[in-house]
Amino acid sequence: MIKAILITGATDGIGLETAKMLRVEGAHLLLHGRNAAKLEKVSQAISKLAPTFLHAPH
Domain count, the chain: 1
Residue 37 has what pLDDT?
95
**Domain region containing 46:** 5-55
Residue 26 has what pLDDT?
87
Residue 30 has what pLDDT?
92
In which residue ranges of the chain is pLDDT below 50? none
Please count the residues of the chain: 58
Residue 16 has what pLDDT?
96
d(CA 43, CA 55) in angstroms, rounded, equals 7
Residue 55 has what pLDDT?
55
Distances (CA, A) of 19 to 3, 46: 15, 8
Answering whether pTM is above 0.85, one says no
